[in-house]
Structure 1
Amino acid sequence: FLFSCCNMAAPPSLNLLGEIMLINSLVGWNSLTMVFLAFMSFFSAAYSLFLYSYSQHGKMASGLYSFSSGFVREYLLLFLHWLPLNFLILKSEFLVLWL
């Protein structure tokens, strides 16, 4: 769920920061690209929501509701990718100053 929210550019996520910076740069370049970017952002969020709902409520994943369906190393790998992602959004001034 947390990775799906980060992919949808829900606050606070690094994808949200990237989309805000992309919108600022494209509107400064050409204001007509705002319509195209709005459609792309909407469909990206809709697809992420579809992937989450299908993986949790679809026919293929009917036996995956229990917490013990994965191994500890898989959960550790997910956590070790999710933790730096959230630290980067908390310290986003490093990314903004670098660009």
Structure 2
Amino acid sequence: MRYDCDLHCHTIRSDGNDSPEELIENATKAGLKVIAITDHDIQPPLYIDTCDGRIDIKVFAAKKSIDLVLDMNFRVTLTWMMYTSWDTGWTGKARC
């Protein structure tokens, strides 16, 4: 079974190989419909600088037919941590 999504992507902002813009472009070329940027310990990118100026990253992704989820990985040593999703505003306890 094939899923047209990748919900755990990293960019050069942590340990990935592509810029956020390149990641979205490559996801489009690969036929993905949904991706999540989940860089380590850094707020997700909220915009991309293009030749036409600064654009909201979700707008940029939508123009490429990508539904973009913004999130992040936390490195923790605690047994419990609070998790807040950047996208949905949902807050809840997550067991580590």
Q: TM-score range by the shorter chain?
A: under 0.3
- For the pair shown, the structure with the greater C-alpha radius of gyration is 1
Relative contact order: is structure 1 or structure 2 higher (C-alpha 8 Å, sep ≥ 6)? 1
